[in-house]
């Protein structure tokens, strides 16, 4: 049967959410990489309504800005309505109607900004049931073990919906009912508009209840009904951080399971967290302790983890990423990263490249087949293809005022403990010796070295650290060594540089 889009969807998000005890508005708290409100608007937008309205009050400007950003992501219009001082869900819906055409007809769906597991398919099912039975009102209900706090679905002798009673207005018999009102409805537009004009605040909470529309519609001879969902999680809201965590855990379980059924190997689902917008190709393997946040995109046959956190990162086919933290990075096909690598924004590692143990990169483009195996910082740099950066090297990119850039060519072999004082360029095929400090450009094919003869200052420890364990060990070595050892241990004379001469004068 074809799915029919509602004329409008209203998302109620005006509450203060005081039980969150947070400076952040409740509907902006995130799970699975999206705010609660983002999840709710995404589900609503999926039904393709002509009009989509979000009702706001608490932290209005902050939430309205957030709604605008969500609308941009979804590439659709989202209207904002402001709830006034009159409390209650009925008044919130009434305020939303002011943003809709007065002559609009068709189905109006009302949902909430804090039900992140509600799906588009469930909303479609609600609309379909509502329209197939020509109902004036259809409410989505669920049977729960602990209905405390919810409005109860009261049915008549024939099993049809009679009314909804809020917890504070319910007597003992009604409170014993396990079928609860989700607060999610489908209304015939004209019925909703006319009934809300007749709803008052004469109840225990002094609010204008949306639930009163059901009684008004029924008393006018219109048909009302309840559609029961078997998936209680879809109607669960987040009122505090405990519930937020519970919903987050359940949503993550569903996301992980969905990827597994689509061909992804997840070794330990219990320790794997995957956000809603992550894309995983078939035959990706996720090892234990992995978190994939934001818009990560992982290609086929890649292996992620164990113990890896990636945010908004692209990983190519067949790459491996082990015990790594990365954000806003690109890892090429067949590349190897980790363990204990840190990829900061702007990192691009080419195909078959390598970033090894304790390597940090930032705003660095590293070409195909190039390797930074260990203990190195590469910041604000371009490295060509098939080059190798020696261990313990540092790209010195900051002069205290501004960042500068280093460019390394292709097929370059740089020695360990090399410092690149940016801005500097190393040409194709160049080498450097260990401990080199590259302050000037290195021509293609050249060897850059730091000259200077090693000097040994005999007796320094005994003189400057008398009584220390080191001094005692040195004295013992001297006492037991053959007489020729001291003379033989002197470094060979390779000539004295000007720097050495100056140091000799100082000493």
Active-site positions? 374
| 185 annotated as ligand-binding | no
| 439 annotated as ligand-binding | no
| 15 annotated as ligand-binding | yes
**From CA 216, how far away is CA 334, in angstroms rounded?**
66
Helix (H, G, I), strand (E, B), or coil: what is residue 120?
helix
Q: How far is CA 276 from CA 34, 65, 118, in A?
A: 7, 21, 14
| 420 annotated as ligand-binding | no
Helix (H, G, I), strand (E, B), or coil: what is residue 321?
strand
| 262 annotated as ligand-binding | no
Q: Are 408 and 424 in contact (CB under 8 A)?
A: no
| 434 annotated as ligand-binding | yes
CA 122 distance to own-chain centroid: 26
Secondary element (H or E) of residue 183:
strand 179-188
**From CA 147, how far away is CA 243, in angstroms rounded?**
15
Two tokens, residue 144: 């729960």
- The residue among 336, 362, 359 whose CA lies nearest residue 348 is 362
**From CA 283, how far away is CA 263, in angstroms rounded?**
6
Residue 8 phi, psi (nearest 5) = -155, 155
| 114 annotated as ligand-binding | yes
| 166 annotated as ligand-binding | yes
> Ramachandran region of residue 427, left (φ > 0), alpha (ψ -120 to 50) or beta?
beta
Two tokens, residue 348: 């691009």
Residue 300 phi, psi (nearest 5) = -55, 145
| 100 annotated as ligand-binding | no
| 327 annotated as ligand-binding | no
| 463 annotated as ligand-binding | no
| 113 annotated as ligand-binding | yes
Two tokens, residue 33: 């990489």
- The residue among 195, 14, 43 whose CA lies nearest residue 115 is 43
Two tokens, residue 314: 């692209």
| 362 annotated as ligand-binding | yes
**From CA 329, how far away is CA 311, in angstroms rounded?**
8
- b vs e for 51-65, b when ≥16 Cβ sit within 10 Å of the residue's Cβ? bbbbbbbbbeeebee
| 501 annotated as ligand-binding | no
Q: Are 411 and 429 in contact (CB under 8 A)?
A: yes
Between 189-196 and 212-219, two packed helices, what is the crossing angle to 10 degrees? 110
| 505 annotated as ligand-binding | no
| 239 annotated as ligand-binding | yes
| 181 annotated as ligand-binding | yes
Q: Are 189 and 105 in contact (CB under 8 A)?
A: yes
- The residue among 453, 469, 451 whose CA lies nearest residue 461 is 469
| 14 annotated as ligand-binding | yes
Residue tagged 């990263």 (tokens): 337
| 308 annotated as ligand-binding | no
Q: Are 269 and 253 in contact (CB under 8 A)?
A: yes
| 342 annotated as ligand-binding | no
**From CA 213, how far away is CA 164, in angstroms rounded?**
10
Annotated binding residues, written as ranges, equal 12-15, 26, 83, 88-89, 112-114, 151, 166, 181, 239, 344, 362, 377, 388, 391, 397-398, 416, 434
Annotated binding residues for Mg(2+), written as ranges, equal 114, 239
Annotated binding residues for UDP-N-acetyl-alpha-D-glucosamine, written as ranges, equal 12-15, 26, 83, 88-89, 112-114, 151, 166, 181, 239, 344, 362, 377, 388
Annotated binding residues for acetyl-CoA, written as ranges, equal 391, 397-398, 416, 434
């Amino acid at each position: 049967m074809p799915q029919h889009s509602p004329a409008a969807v209203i998302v109620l998000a005006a509450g203060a959410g005081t039980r969150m005890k947070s400076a952040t508005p409740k509907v902006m708290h995130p799970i699975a990489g999206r705010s609660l409100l983002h999840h709710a608007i995404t589900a609503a937008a999926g039904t393709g309504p002509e009009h989509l309205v979000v009702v706001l009050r608490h932290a209005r400007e902050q939430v309205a800005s957030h709604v605008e950003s969500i609308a941009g992501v979804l590439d659709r219009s989202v209207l904002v309505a402001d709830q006034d001082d009159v409390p209650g869900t009925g008044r919130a819906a009434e305020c939303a109607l002011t943003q809709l055409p007065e002559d609009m007809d068709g189905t109006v769906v009302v949902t909430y900004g804090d039900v992140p597991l509600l799906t588009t398919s469930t909303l479609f099912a609600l609309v379909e049931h509502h329209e197939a039975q020509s109902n004036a009102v259809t409410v989505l209900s669920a049977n729960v073990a602990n209905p405390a706090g919810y409005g109860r679905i009261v049915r008549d002798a024939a099993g049809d919906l009679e009314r909804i009673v809020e917890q504070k207005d319910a007597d003992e018999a009604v409170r014993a009912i396990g079928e609860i009102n989700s607060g999610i409805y489908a209304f015939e537009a004209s019925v909703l508009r006319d009934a809300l004009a007749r709803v008052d605040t004469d109840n225990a909470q002094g609010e204008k209840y949306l639930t009163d529309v059901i009684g008004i519609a029924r008393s006018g001879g219109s048909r009302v009904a309840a559609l029961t969902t078997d998936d209680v999680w879809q109607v669960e809201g987040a009122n505090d951080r405990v519930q937020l965590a519970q919903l987050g855990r359940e949503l993550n379980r569903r996301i992980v399971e969905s990827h597994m059924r689509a061909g992804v190997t997840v070794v330990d689902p219990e320790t794997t967290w995957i956000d809603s917008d992550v894309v995983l190709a078939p035959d990706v393997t996720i090892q234990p302790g992995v978190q994939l946040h934001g818009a990560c995109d992982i290609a086929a046959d890649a292996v992620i983890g164990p113990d890896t956190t990636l945010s908004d990162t692209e990983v190519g086919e067949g790459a491996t990423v082990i015990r790594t933290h990365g954000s806003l990075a690109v890892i090429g096909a067949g590349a190897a990263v980790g363990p204990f690598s840190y990829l900061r924004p702007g990192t691009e590692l080419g195909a078959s490249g390598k970033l090894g143990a304790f390597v940090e990169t930032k705003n660095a483009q590293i070409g195909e087949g190039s390797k930074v195996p260990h203990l190195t910082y590469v910041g604000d740099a371009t490295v060509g293809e098939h080059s190798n950066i020696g261990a313990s090297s540092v790209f010195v990119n900051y002069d205290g005022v501004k960042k500068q850039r280093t460019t390394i060519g292709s097929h370059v072999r740089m020695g360990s403990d090399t410092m690149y004082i940016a801005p500097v360029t190393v040409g194709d095929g160049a080498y450097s010796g260990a401990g080199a400090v590259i302050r000037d450009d290195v021509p293609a094919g050249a060897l850059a070295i730091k000259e200077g003869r090693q000097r040994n200052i005999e007796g320094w420890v005994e003189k400057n650290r008398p009584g220390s364990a080191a001094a005692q060990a040195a004295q013992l070595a001297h006492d037991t060594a053959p007489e020729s050892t001291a003379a033989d241990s002197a470094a060979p004379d390779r000539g004295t540089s000007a720097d050495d001469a100056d140091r000799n004068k100082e000493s």
